[in-house]
């Protein structure tokens, strides 16, 4: 697509969030023929008779306006019908012209809207619909192409209905037109990874509805406009890898729902505004690396209670790490390397229980290396090139030489032999031994006192329990081992269950986003409120509690709290509190569901990692948990993604426990009768009365993989009259398997990735519903990488890997 001019007109559209239309016909020449005939069928007026040649008397490559390729002589590469006075609508079946490079229908009388499906034409280089009556342009996505030139000022004349404008990853140059602020309904503006230069126009602050702004990896200069404070609905702001100068404007603190701020790799100066630290919504990360920021780390850093990653690498920051950093209770990654920090590592950092990666290298830190670092869940620790001294611990992360770096600290000693540090002197060792013995004595005394206190409390409780009789509590049985949360707490946290906090709906209830305090620490959670008027909702609540009460796995959703109480009207109230998944469901990423979120898509590596995560979670539920659990409703909307795009299996409202394989634990845990699951993902044998089984989950997993790698839902409207997603794969298998693979996954350059794509449908190819593979077979070795996962799948015997028919 090199050398293609950047062509942008009032009615130009490429929508990438659509569904690809694939006919049942197998011959590719028939595919193009039927697509052209469908286009003709929607043309209501042809006064010049330009489509009169479009019939069976001539091959379709000789029809007026149709051009075919030199190599693939029967595949349509261009459709040019300019100024033909055609009227009618544009057929969505043009999306089946998969070799189409040029589409020009300008200066006609076409009406309606541009079909979403044209966004899947991956070879398209030129498109022109100008001088028609096309309307309601809402999404303009030209990202990830080779369009050149400048953005014309006429962009200001685009439809005011436009809510997504994406020109990212193109070699377009020039500056941002000032007229862009006329697109007042934009919620997503993506101009990242281009050759745009010059200042960011302050008028861009007039786009008050923006939720995502990406100007990254360009050549923007000047200051960050203070008008950015008008973006009160902004959730993600990407300004990294530019030439921005000046201070970080404190007006950014007006972005009350900001989840991610990335201004790294610029030329910013001054101190970090403390106002930014007061954004409780900042959860994904704060990235200010590779600038010229100076001053101390604000004491208010502890106000960022929900932030998961902070990167301040390579600045001129100084002072000590404030003890208030312990307030960052959800912090997982902290990078402070390449600054001028000094002093000891504060003891309060031991309270950040989830910290996994800590980099303090190339600073002036001093003192001993704290023992508590060995007790944390650290996976990477870099303390190199500082002034640490004394004995190095040998437990925890310090046992893994590949996970730590302590070089450049000449006064350190001890540690594991592989570090080759000098042995500690006797005085240092004795002091540490005495210190440990003193601590152990204190702990022993405190423990004895604690148990004595507990015994007194139990005696007092027994005495008063004989004198008083309490009413039954409306709380879940303690056997579920969950913390309880009151109805009033949930009412306050969700603002009386207002629609503005509503983030999802399910079969048995709705889900709200809410900040809730746990042990004096506020964190954002997801609250699932059961609709008890819905048949089966109460059993769903019990089933989910029973299934998840002892489950602990990184790929399975975790229940934080439960509420079983009475609301203010005297009605029963039941709710489950889960970890909040900021990246939503897999379904939203596959089909871009939700009109209020900007377009987004998954990269191939992310797709493979998600497939691995789901397989690993299912394998744990089936084989390695306290009891075997059958999920019974695996589908993309029940696969949730955390801030790191790690997949978690959720919604266990239909789950069943098994005591023995293929044996139901208890009928009381069933939340439905009859068919168990969602249409399209249910094994056919369930519909014939078969009991639920782990094999049924594996069938649903196979359907989920088909959906991920074809981009089609099994309930898509084209799947009817006995034609389903399995037969859709069968029609194309094996020669045309690449034709039905999601075109976004075909834009890879790595041969290994292409091999993985070519094998995924082959590996999981199905002809029927009888599942003969389990997750243990899928994950028979722990994968070291995404490609390794598919390579191992490919080695499974074909007969053990298909859903065979009799």
Residue 41 to residue 704: CA distance in whole angstroms: 35
Q: How far apart are CA 688 and CA 333, in angstroms?
A: 50
**Packed helices 694-710 and 725-732: angle between N→C axes, nearest 10 degrees:** 60
126-128 β-sheet, strand order: 66-68, 76-80, 102-104, 126-128
Contacts of 783 (CB under 8 A, 6+ apart): 612, 789, 792
DSSP, res 798: G
What distance separates the 2 farthest-apart alpha carbons in the chain? 101
Q: 395: annotated binding-site residue?
A: no
Backbone phi, psi, residue 571, to 5°: -95, 155
- Collapsing DSSP states into helix, strand and coil, what is residue 636? helix
Helix runs in 286-411, H state only: 372-375
Residues with Cβ within 8 Å of 32's Cβ and at least 6 positions away in sequence, in order, are 60, 74, 75, 76, 96, 97, 99
Calculate the alpha carbon distances from 497 to 33, 232, 702, 714, 734 in Å: 53, 22, 37, 33, 51
Q: How far is CA 24 from CA 31, 123, 310, 715, 720, in A?
A: 9, 22, 51, 16, 11
HSE value, Cβ hemisphere, 13 Å, CA-based, for 669:
21
How far apart CA 335 and CA 100 sit, in angstroms, is 48
- How far are the Cα atoms of 102, 131, 251, 404, 544 from residue 125, in angstroms, in the given order? 6, 20, 41, 49, 50
The DSSP symbol for 698 reads H
**CB within 8 A of 434, min separation 6: which ones?**
none
- Structure-token pair, residue 792: 């191992």
What is the Cα 647 distance to its own chain's centre?
A: 8
How many whole angstroms separate alpha carbon 656 and alpha carbon 585? Answer: 22
Query: Of 539, 556, 688, 706, which is closest to residue 631 (Cα–Cα)?
Result: 556
The answer to whether 643 and 284 are in contact (CB under 8 A) is yes
Active centre residues (catalytic): 633
What angle in degrees, to the nearest 10, is found between the helix axes of 751-763 and 694-710? 130
- Cβ atoms of residues 756 and 745 within 8 Å: no
Q: State the angle between helix axes of 604-619 and 751-763 in degrees (0 to 180), rounded to the nearest 10.
A: 40
* C-alpha Rg value of the chain to the nearest Å: 30
CA contacts within 13 A on the Cβ side of 472: 6
Bridge partner residues of 313 (DSSP): none
- Secondary structure (3-state) at 545: helix
What is the rounded distance in angstroms from the CA atom of residue 731 to the CA atom of residue 59? 25
472 dihedral zone (left: phi>0; alpha: psi -120 to 50; beta): beta
Q: Give the per-residue SS3 of 266-322.
A: CEEEECCCHHHHHCCCCCCEEECCCCEEEEECCHHHHHCCCCCEEECCCCEEEECCC
Residue 199, classed as helix, strand or coil, is: strand
Structure tokens that stand for 481 in this block: 């081992």
Q: Which residues fall in the annotated binding site?
A: 528
Q: Which residues fall in the annotated binding site for ATP?
A: 528
């Amino acid at each position: 697509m090199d050398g293609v001019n950047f062509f942008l007109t009032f009615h130009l559209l490429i929508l990438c969030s659509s569904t690809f239309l694939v006919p049942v016909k197998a011959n590719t020449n028939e595919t193009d023929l039927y697509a052209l005939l469908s286009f003709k069928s929607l043309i209501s007026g042809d006064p010049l008779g330009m489509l009169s040649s479009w019939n069976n008397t001539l091959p379709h490559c000789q029809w007026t306006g149709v051009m075919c390729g030199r190599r693939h002589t029967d595949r349509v590469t261009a459709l040019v019908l300019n100024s033909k006075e055609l009227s009618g609508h544009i057929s969505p079946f043009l999306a089946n012209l998969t070799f189409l490079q040029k589409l020009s229908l300008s200066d006609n009388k076409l009406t309606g809207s541009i079909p979403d499906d044209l966004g899947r034409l991956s070879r398209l280089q030129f498109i022109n619909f100008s001088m028609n009556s096309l309307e309601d342009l809402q999404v303009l996505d030209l990202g990830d192409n080779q369009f050149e030139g400048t953005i014309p000022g006429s962009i200001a004349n685009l439809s005011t209905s436009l809510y997504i404008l994406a020109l990212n990853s193109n070699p377009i140059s020039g500056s941002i037109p000032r007229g862009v602020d006329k697109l007042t309904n934009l919620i997503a503006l993506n101009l990242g990874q281009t050759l745009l230069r010059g200042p960011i126009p302050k008028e861009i602050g007039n786009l008050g509805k923006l939720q995502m702004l990406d100007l990254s990896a360009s050549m923007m200069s000047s200051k960050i406009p203070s008008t950015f404070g008008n973006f009160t609905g902004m959730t993600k702001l990407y300004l990294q890898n530019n030439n921005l100068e000046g201070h970080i404007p404190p007006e950014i603190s007006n972005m009350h729902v900001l989840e991610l701020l990335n201004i790294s790799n610029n030329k910013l100066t001054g101190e970090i505004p403390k106002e930014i630290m007061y954004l409780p919504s900042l959860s994904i990360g704060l990235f200010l690396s590779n600038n010229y920021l100076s001053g101390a780390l604000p004491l208010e850093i502890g106000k960022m209670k929900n932030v998961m990653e902070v990167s301040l690498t390579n600045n001129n920051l100084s002072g000590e790490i404030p003890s208030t950093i312990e307030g960052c209770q959800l912090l997982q990654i902290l990078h402070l390397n390449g600054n001028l920090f000094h002093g000891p590592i504060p003891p309060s950092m031991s309270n950040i229980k989830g910290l996994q990666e800590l980099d303090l290298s190339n600073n002036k830190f001093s003192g001993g290396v704290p023992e508590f670092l060995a007790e944390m869940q650290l996976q990477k620790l870099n303390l190199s090139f500082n002034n640490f001294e004394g004995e190095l611990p040998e437990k925890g992360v310090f046992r893994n030489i590949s996970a730590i770096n302590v070089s450049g600290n000449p006064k350190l000693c001890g540690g594991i032999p592989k570090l080759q540090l000098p042995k500690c002197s006797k005085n240092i060792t004795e002091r540490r031994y005495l210190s440990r013995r003193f601590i152990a004595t204190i702990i022993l005394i405190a423990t004895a006192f604690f148990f004595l206190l507990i015994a007194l409390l139990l005696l007092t409780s027994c005495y008063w329990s004989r004198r008083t009789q309490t009413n039954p509590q409306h709380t879940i049985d303690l056997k579920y081992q969950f913390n309880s949360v009151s109805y009033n707490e949930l009412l306050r946290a969700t603002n009386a269950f207002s629609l503005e906090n509503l983030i999802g709906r399910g079969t048995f209830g709705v889900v709200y986003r809410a900040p809730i305090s746990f042990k004096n620490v506020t964190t954002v959670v997801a609250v699932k409120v059961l609709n008890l008027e819905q048949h089966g909702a109460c059993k769903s609540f019990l089933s989910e509690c029973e299934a998840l009460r002892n489950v602990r796995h990184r790929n399975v959703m975790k229940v934080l709290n439960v509420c079983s109480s009475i609301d203010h009207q005297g009605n029963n109230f039941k709710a489950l509190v889960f970890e909040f998944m900021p990246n939503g469901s897999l379904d939203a990423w596959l089909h871009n569901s939700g009109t209020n979120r900007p377009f987004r898509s998954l990269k191939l590596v992310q797709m493979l990692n998600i497939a691995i995560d789901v397989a690993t979670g299912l394998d744990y539920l089936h084989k390695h948990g306290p009891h075997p659990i059958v999920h019974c409703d695996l589908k993309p909307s029940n696969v949730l993604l955390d801030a790191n795009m790690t997949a978690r299996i959720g919604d266990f409202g239909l789950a069943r426990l098994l005591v023995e394989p293929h044996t139901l634990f208890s009928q009381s845990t069933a939340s439905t009768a009859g068919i168990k699951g969602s249409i399209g993902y249910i094994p056919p044998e369930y519909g014939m009365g078969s009991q639920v089984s782990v094999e049924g989950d594996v069938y649903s997993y196979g359907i989920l993989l088909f959906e991920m790698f074809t981009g089609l839902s099994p309930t898509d409207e084209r799947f009817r009259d006995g034609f389903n997603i399995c037969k859709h794969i069968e029609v194309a298998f094996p020669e045309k398997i690449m034709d039905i693979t999601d075109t976004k996954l075909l834009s890879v350059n790595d041969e290994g990735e292409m091999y993985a794509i070519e094998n995924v449908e082959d590996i999981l190819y199905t002809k029927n519903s009888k599942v003969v593979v389990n997750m243990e077979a899928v994950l028979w070795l722990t994968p070291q990488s995404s490609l390794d996962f598919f390579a191992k799948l490919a080695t499974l015997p074909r007969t053990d890997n298909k859903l065979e028919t009799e």
